[in-house]
Chains A and B, each alone.
Chain A
Amino acid sequence: MKKHLLTISLLSVASMISAAAFASDIVPAATQKQAVLLQNATIHTAANGVIENGDMLFNNGRIVEIGQDLNSNSAKIIDLTGKHVYPGLVALSTSLGLVEVNAVKESVDNREVGFVNPQLSPAVAYNADSEIIPTVRRNGITYAQVIPTGNGIAGQSIVVNLDAWNIDDALVKTGPQMNLYWPSIRWASSDPTVYKKQLESLNKQINEVHQAFENGYRYYLSYKADHDVKGNKALASMLPLFEGKGQLYVHANKQKQIEQAIAIARKYKFKLVIVGGYDAWRVATSLNEIGAKVIYTNVFSLPQRNDDPVDQAFKVPSLLKQAGVPFALAIKADWNTRNLPFAAGQTVSHGLSKEEALKSITADAANILNLKDIGSLQKGYKASFIITEGDILDQASGKVEQLYIDGRKVDLNNRHNQLYQKYLKR
């Protein structure tokens, strides 16, 4: 009976998709075949400052050399006088490829039933053909972390490059990444009986979190004793956390939640990344003690407390900087991911330097993912970069003209441009 129902709903999804055409017809670029030398650009390396009149040689998808006055006999030469080169932007904490249209539930695949789902991975659901991806790419974003959402342990996240046929050529290998959404009351009720239930449920969920890790830890102990341990596959997927190979991403904003997450990380020696992080600057000492990092996702948010300074959400990155907490910026979003460079730009008038702001969406973001060959422009790194007319962080000037991933020149066309071109002809 159940199966039958499933078939029907699948059918309706199929018909829906064909009608709406949730698929882009932009062809992924082929592997780099010829070396390319960029000349006379302002190169923002995001690692070693800015090179004026800079040149960059890349071949086989990697940066061969970067500096000034480079030469190559075989390379195709592109003169970029007056242009800027930046590393391809890295968008953390997105639902790209999992959510097409949020209100069309048939097109939403980022959320599961249940509170403890460590075994889930977006890799199996990732839609490389999402119409959203080319529109995001167009703003300079080359890599994205794709995360499941939910309440509790929602599953693992992955990293993809944004120009691919499917997950297999999209996936960028990283260490395992587990996502925990710290339980919270979404809307505290003013009704005493309802509120009481909410509190009970919150406490129950926090206990479940602790129980889940304890179960995972027991599994890990058994596994250490005998690698052939039988048992729950879901628990097995938590092994890398206990082995120190993976990172735990805890989605939390309030100080108390972050402190609770730190306590868990201390207990099991987890590598911790706080996602959200509105109050993270208040907990800087503890975060630094355990080497935790922060993905700050609230630049485009209101102050989270009524009496907070009007610009609090804009200021947090500079507060993290002052406190010495490693951080990156992100917008927790789907289509809206494309505004990432402007979120970084917004922090510049609130305490970050332009270079720091750029790093927060390139090198520092890659650093959080422990990826050693993306996010900055240096020798040996992937040739994933963008060429712009001006300042990438500023919508008033930062038009993206070209974008490369692994040395492949990516088509910047997208659904929006196509419709634009069509109606220009009307």
Chain B
Amino acid sequence: MININKVISASALVVMSSSSFASVLTPNANNKLTALTHANIFVAPGKVVKNATLLVENDRVKAIIEDNDIPQAALEIDLSGYTIYPGFIDPYTQYGIDYSFPETKQTKPIYFNDRIGGNASNDAIHAEKEWFSYIKPDAKSAKTWINNGFTSVQSAKLDGIFRGRGVSLSLENDIPNKVIYQARSHQFMSFNKGSSKQDYPGSLMGSIALIRQTLSDAKWYKENYNKPGTLSQPNEIEFNAAYEKLGNLHKQHIIFETTSLNNQLRAARELAEFDLTPTIVGTGNEYSRINEIKALNYSIILPLKFPDAPNVADSDSAKDVKLAELRHWERASSNPAALAKADISFAFTLSGSNQKEFWKALRKAVNAGLSKQDALAALTTNPAEMANISDIAGKLEPGYKADFVISKGDLFDNGKIYSVWLQGNETQIHDRSLDNLAGNYQLTLNQIDFDLGLEKGTKLDASLSSGEQQIELDKVKYDNERLTFIADLSGADYQGVTRFVLWLDGKELTGRMETADGTEYPVTAKRIKLDTDSENLTSKNSQDSDKKTSFVSKTTHPNVAFGFDALPEQETVLIKNATVWTSEKSGILKNTDVLIKNGEIDEIGQGLKAPRKAIVIDATGKHLTAGIVDEHSHIAINGGVNEATHAVTSEVRIGDVLNPDDVNIYRALAGGVTTVQLLHGSANPIGGQAQTIKLRWGDTAEELKFKEANPSIKFALGENVKQTHWGEKFSRRFPKSRMGVDALFRETMDSALEYEQAKKDYDDLRRSSKRKIVAPRKDYRLEAVNQVINGERDVHIHSYVASEILMFLKVADAYGFTVKAFTHILEGYKVADEMAKHGTSASTFSDWWAYKFEVYDAIPQNTCLMTEKGVLTSVNSDDREMMRRLNQEAAKSMFYCDMSEIDAWNMVTINPAKQLGVDKYVGSIKQGKQADLALWSHNPLSVYAKAEKVWVDGKRYFDIEIDKQKQQQVATERQALIQKILTSGTKMKQKSEAPIFKEPEWHCDTLFHAWDKSHNHSH
């Protein structure tokens, strides 16, 4: 008889009605009722019911019974000493998908994909796929998960950028119809175009642009596809399967795979543009930017793999290991704890983990401070949410699927998985009966009580003892509940060797022994006490929180060598008695004081009084200038600088791929540089959108952006855009000549104008007409071109020879915009009159030439000739090394053509600031401007000058004295970590192991394929 009050639901809130309970009592031959008794049951993370029964009916949890008073119809399995956890859920797998994408017969370069079944025009988009259609349970591969305690997974083909809609299913080996828990779970995405052979997108920023365009298209499609006129109107709308499926993306969740922390943040930011918050497959170093993650509010799926230590045993290879890599070795296992501490929801996945070491890694994470409750949540309730199956999986509440794990001991400590139940069916991992056998038994022979001890180590050990007496047992075997051994029982008056056969029957051993004379005697051994783990799960949990992991590494902003312990703050500084190069009409002021306050240049004059708490710097003999502005650079960029796959790629944005971890930011600061325009490369006539940044080392990618700067875009002319140096395969893309480049500009701008007109026409329609007529599709590529024509986006055009410069001036005149700047412009001196007349400007190299044919007429007097003719001229670097010496580059115009000091200095400060549209804020020393300043040891144009202090927004981002300390700290921290690795005896990477991928140093013409990681470039 079962007392209804004793049956509780796991949450203790759901009280079963007697009628529903009645079914337990109703014998039903078709019902499989199993009672797993006397177990510790984790009903949900943090909720343990001890010594209770889990009642399973068929494939579902029926009840949790606290007093083990089980229904009569139930088959009892005594799980005394065992723990039951909800089955684990892997939210990110490719399990059971039986499908391959068709392979194209086209040869590279592939500009257009094969169109099949209403697919999207890019082969990296498979949004129309619903992966349940291809599910075919695969017992063999399921084993990897089941052995680790997983019972269900979310699965999709992990290929492409839009990967299609996943399916959540049980790992049980049954027909798909039975194992599918959620046929349409979530949309899978990544930045990686995967198996697509189509060239576009060839860069990370290209992938982001493709996502942006696709999400926008899907929205447009949804709004327009069902308009009554769509089939009859002239602006009919073509069917698109991918857009159709993306129409309800808001109702789905997005599982986004990334390969770097920066990419996680990019994915989250990009999706936020469309009000979508994804779950992101993480990379294990989330602790480095935890606040940013928290702010973007996304959840994370974590592979559990901690890197082996870098090989530091060889002191030569150790030198090449980055501090960041050493730090990560030490901190990787504390990453899950850091996420938990920040209250960021996360789940673990076996994908990307070492499947055989999954639990070892998980325990390492627990040792590094992850609470067991959070760990369990990351395997159950959190992934259940992410797989959209939280109403049937992740907990052991009545009605939930009977998916669970039985373990001996605490799995998060040193426990072991014994069996995994999938939909009410048990898969044994370890023989539980062997475990049941272990313990002490009272065995009575000849009225002497013996203590039979059975201990399970690597093999089964048995001993027989009575008081002081120890009897050795030999040939101990246990198989299928049958225990055999031999013993010398002469002490109990049995001569010779006695043989035992005992059967484990519940809690007793019964059987026989055969003595030397062949007589058999019945034997019974009663269990004395169970060999249970007397652990107290909750109290152990509380001990965990006291556990402290000690680190010798620091975490810094950014978390690489030379990062800041704490970001610099705005300071009030009075710089006294400096030679001040104003880059204003006032020229160079001797013995002058400058006060920095609230991030601005507060006052310039002589004998200024220091405000309270101001830092006073005696700058006698030193030179104060505006921070250097570089019109042309490619530092601090991830995933390629060229989207080289089409002639026009104005939709891609450098601003999407800023890399705030690039040490070249710090190196450039050391050269007095504070503002930089990061340009797309020069691989195509209309390249991508540029991003002007301030070198706020340590800040986030978004904070690097110089928000007041003009929007700008890179255009390019000449050999690079003609694909001259790309190899013979690249013979099909227009343009291949300077004639074609001109034609391409005009055609593109005509299209942009037509597009703009179409939008205007639509906007002018009456509401009622709008409901019937398809709106023009938003085209990010043409929008950017339109911004150029409308003067809303500045063109910085890569250019060398006179003919092409004149050509583009004519194009600009024809379309009515002013070219903001010609960059490189090495033959600008030949057409300086025309440039001045147009009102454009020039940003050039000081002395580069002869590296390719189109620069054979380049001369170092170019700057002087252009300046002479009234062309605003700057000197740029386009080179991460030379960038640190732009002051010297400016001085070369004094050397080659007698430019004045002031003109030369303006070429790296106010002139480029004007070109970037930031001259109102920076580029000169003027009251009220942002305090972006450099203090130099000598005349800044001299080769002997060193930047000693550099401020951005009144914050000191570089100081030569602090740099000396940093150099020392980096060296010390490296040594400490190397010693820690060497003394810990930890596993090190093999010397023959491939190094961690390192991006190339981007140049204008670096052609890098972000996905197969190949690259080449010539200047």
In the A-B complex, list the 3 residue pairs whose CB atoms are closest, starting with the nearest.
Answer: A345-B943, A103-B852, A195-B994
Alpha-carbon separation in the docked complex, A311 to B892 (Å): 22
Contact indicator B833/A305 (Cβ below 8 Å): no
For residue B996, which residues in chain A have a CB less than 8 angstroms away from its CB?
190
Contact indicator A255/B319 (Cβ below 8 Å): yes
Alpha-carbon separation in the docked complex, A255 to B317 (Å): 10
Q: Which of B323, B829, B941 contacts A423 (CB 8 A)?
A: B829
Contact indicator A307/B561 (Cβ below 8 Å): yes
Q: Which of B324, B561, B847, B856 contacts A339 (CB 8 A)?
A: B847
Alpha-carbon separation in the docked complex, A310 to B967 (Å): 8
Contact indicator B994/A349 (Cβ below 8 Å): no
**Residue in B closest to A104 when the chains form the complex, CB atoms:** B853
Contact indicator B865/A100 (Cβ below 8 Å): no
Q: How far is the CB of A215 from chain B (nearest CB, A)?
A: 28
| Interface, chain A (partner B; CB < 8 A) | 20, 100-104, 131-132, 187-192, 194-196, 199, 254-256, 300-303, 305-307, 309-311, 334-335, 338-339, 342, 345-346, 348-349, 393-399, 415-417, 419-420, 423-424, 426
Q: How far is the CB of B84 from chain A (nearest CB, A)?
A: 41
- Does chain A have a CB within 8 A of B667? yes
Alpha-carbon separation in the docked complex, A256 to B830 (Å): 50
With contact pairs A420-B865, A423-B829 given, residues A307 and B970 touching in the complex (Cβ less than 8 Å): yes
Interface stretch among B235-243, B523-531, B881-889? B881-889
Contact indicator A102/B851 (Cβ below 8 Å): yes
Considering the complex, which residues of chain B in the window 171-202 have a beta carbon less than 8 Å from any beta carbon of chain A? none
Alpha-carbon separation in the docked complex, A424 to B941 (Å): 25
Q: How far is the CB of B567 from chain A (nearest CB, A)?
A: 19
- Does chain A have a CB within 8 A of B663? yes
For residue B670, which residues in chain A have a CB less than 8 angstroms away from its CB?
310-311
Contact indicator B666/A310 (Cβ below 8 Å): yes
Question: Could you jot down 14 A-B contacts, CB within 8 Å?
Answer: A101-B853, A102-B1018, A104-B853, A189-B1013, A191-B1013, A195-B995, A199-B992, A309-B963, A310-B666, A335-B849, A345-B943, A395-B888, A416-B849, A426-B833
With contact pairs A103-B853, A254-B316, A395-B892 given, residues A416 and B861 touching in the complex (Cβ less than 8 Å): yes
Alpha-carbon separation in the docked complex, A131 to B853 (Å): 13
Central interface residue in B316, B859, B894, by most chain A CB within 10 Å: B859
Q: How far is the CB of A305 from chain B (nearest CB, A)?
A: 6
Contact indicator B895/A190 (Cβ below 8 Å): no
- Does chain A have a CB within 8 A of B450? no
Q: Is the interface of A mostly helix, strand, loop or mixed?
A: loop
Q: How far is the CB of A170 from chain B (nearest CB, A)?
A: 20
Contact indicator A349/B937 (Cβ below 8 Å): yes
Contact indicator A306/B853 (Cβ below 8 Å): no
- 8 additional contacts (CB under 8 A) given A190-B996, A300-B881, A419-B829: A101-B850, A195-B993, A300-B882, A306-B561, A307-B970, A310-B667, A346-B885, A420-B865
Alpha-carbon separation in the docked complex, A309 to B561 (Å): 10
With contact pairs A103-B725, A190-B996, A255-B316 given, residues A394 and B322 touching in the complex (Cβ less than 8 Å): no
Contact indicator B974/A100 (Cβ below 8 Å): no
With contact pairs A20-B856, A255-B319, A395-B888 given, residues A102 and B994 touching in the complex (Cβ less than 8 Å): no
Alpha-carbon separation in the docked complex, A86 to B666 (Å): 37
Q: Which of A187, A348, A415 contacts B1000 (CB 8 A)?
A: A187
With contact pairs A307-B322, A310-B963, A423-B829 given, residues A349 and B881 touching in the complex (Cβ less than 8 Å): no
Q: How far is the CB of A424 from chain B (nearest CB, A)?
A: 7
- Does chain A have a CB within 8 A of B585? no
For residue A338, which residues in chain B have a CB less than 8 angstroms away from its CB?
847
With contact pairs A187-B1000, A309-B967, A396-B942 given, residues A301 and B881 touching in the complex (Cβ less than 8 Å): yes
Alpha-carbon separation in the docked complex, A102 to B830 (Å): 23
Contact indicator A20/B853 (Cβ below 8 Å): yes
**Residue in A closest to B974 when the chains form the complex, CB atoms:** A307
Contact indicator B851/A349 (Cβ below 8 Å): no
Contact indicator A395/B894 (Cβ below 8 Å): yes
Alpha-carbon separation in the docked complex, A194 to B945 (Å): 45
- Does chain A have a CB within 8 A of B891? yes
Contact indicator A396/B941 (Cβ below 8 Å): yes
- Does chain A have a CB within 8 A of B946? yes
For residue B941, which residues in chain A have a CB less than 8 angstroms away from its CB?
395-396
Considering the complex, which residues of chain B in the window 864-921 have a beta carbon less than 8 Å from any beta carbon of chain A? 865, 880-882, 884-885, 888, 891-892, 894-897, 901
Encode contact with A along B935-978: 1 for CB under 8 Å, 0 otherwise.
00111011111100000000000000001000100100010000
Encode contact with A along B320-336: 1 for CB under 8 Å, 0 otherwise.
10111000000000000
Q: How far is the CB of B903 from chain A (nearest CB, A)?
A: 13
With contact pairs A20-B856, A103-B852, A103-B853 given, residues A424 and B943 touching in the complex (Cβ less than 8 Å): no
- Does chain A have a CB within 8 A of B612? no
For residue B884, which residues in chain A have a CB less than 8 angstroms away from its CB?
310
Alpha-carbon separation in the docked complex, A349 to B960 (Å): 13
Contact indicator A395/B963 (Cβ below 8 Å): no
Alpha-carbon separation in the docked complex, A408 to B774 (Å): 81
For residue B719, which residues in chain A have a CB less than 8 angstroms away from its CB?
103
**Residue in B closest to A130 when the chains form the complex, CB atoms:** B850
- Does chain A have a CB within 8 A of B562? yes
Alpha-carbon separation in the docked complex, A256 to B316 (Å): 7
**Residue in A closest to B892 when the chains form the complex, CB atoms:** A395
Contact indicator B994/A103 (Cβ below 8 Å): no
Q: How far is the CB of B634 from chain A (nearest CB, A)?
A: 14
Q: How far is the CB of B610 from chain A (nearest CB, A)?
A: 29
Contact indicator A101/B856 (Cβ below 8 Å): yes
For residue A302, which residues in chain B have a CB less than 8 angstroms away from its CB?
664, 667, 880-881, 1001
**Residue in B closest to A196 when the chains form the complex, CB atoms:** B992
Alpha-carbon separation in the docked complex, A112 to B530 (Å): 81
Contact indicator A423/B865 (Cβ below 8 Å): yes
Contact indicator A335/B850 (Cβ below 8 Å): yes
Alpha-carbon separation in the docked complex, A5 to B814 (Å): 47
**Residue in A closest to B846 when the chains form the complex, CB atoms:** A395
Contact indicator B943/A310 (Cβ below 8 Å): no
- Does chain A have a CB within 8 A of B860? yes
For residue B970, which residues in chain A have a CB less than 8 angstroms away from its CB?
307
- Does chain A have a CB within 8 A of B101? no
Alpha-carbon separation in the docked complex, A166 to B30 (Å): 103
Q: How far is the CB of B707 from chain A (nearest CB, A)?
A: 27
Q: Which of A20, A346, A397, A423 contacts B830 (CB 8 A)?
A: A423
For residue B1013, which residues in chain A have a CB less than 8 angstroms away from its CB?
189-191
Contact indicator B943/A348 (Cβ below 8 Å): yes
**Residue in A closest to B314 when the chains form the complex, CB atoms:** A256
- Does chain A have a CB within 8 A of B857? yes
Alpha-carbon separation in the docked complex, A349 to B946 (Å): 7
Alpha-carbon separation in the docked complex, A234 to B939 (Å): 54
Contact indicator A396/B891 (Cβ below 8 Å): yes
Contact indicator B993/A349 (Cβ below 8 Å): no
For residue A103, which residues in chain B have a CB less than 8 angstroms away from its CB?
719, 725, 851-853, 1018-1019
Alpha-carbon separation in the docked complex, A223 to B941 (Å): 58
Alpha-carbon separation in the docked complex, A395 to B941 (Å): 8
Central interface residue in B856, B881, B941, by most chain A CB within 10 Å: B856
- Does chain A have a CB within 8 A of B998? yes
Central interface residue in B667, B833, B901, by most chain A CB within 10 Å: B667
Contact indicator A416/B946 (Cβ below 8 Å): no
Alpha-carbon separation in the docked complex, A339 to B937 (Å): 22
Alpha-carbon separation in the docked complex, A190 to B830 (Å): 46
Contact indicator B320/A334 (Cβ below 8 Å): no
**Residue in A closest to B319 when the chains form the complex, CB atoms:** A305
Contact indicator A348/B998 (Cβ below 8 Å): no
**Residue in B closest to A312 when the chains form the complex, CB atoms:** B967
**Residue in A closest to B856 when the chains form the complex, CB atoms:** A101
**Residue in A closest to B939 when the chains form the complex, CB atoms:** A396
Q: How far is the CB of A173 from chain B (nearest CB, A)?
A: 29
Alpha-carbon separation in the docked complex, A299 to B690 (Å): 31
**Residue in A closest to B854 when the chains form the complex, CB atoms:** A103
Alpha-carbon separation in the docked complex, A255 to B320 (Å): 11
Contact indicator B895/A399 (Cβ below 8 Å): yes
Q: How far is the CB of A14 from chain B (nearest CB, A)?
A: 16
Q: How far is the CB of B970 from chain A (nearest CB, A)?
A: 5
Q: How far is the CB of B848 from chain A (nearest CB, A)?
A: 8
Encode contact with A along B985-1019: 1 for CB under 8 Å, 0 otherwise.
00000001111111011000000000001000011
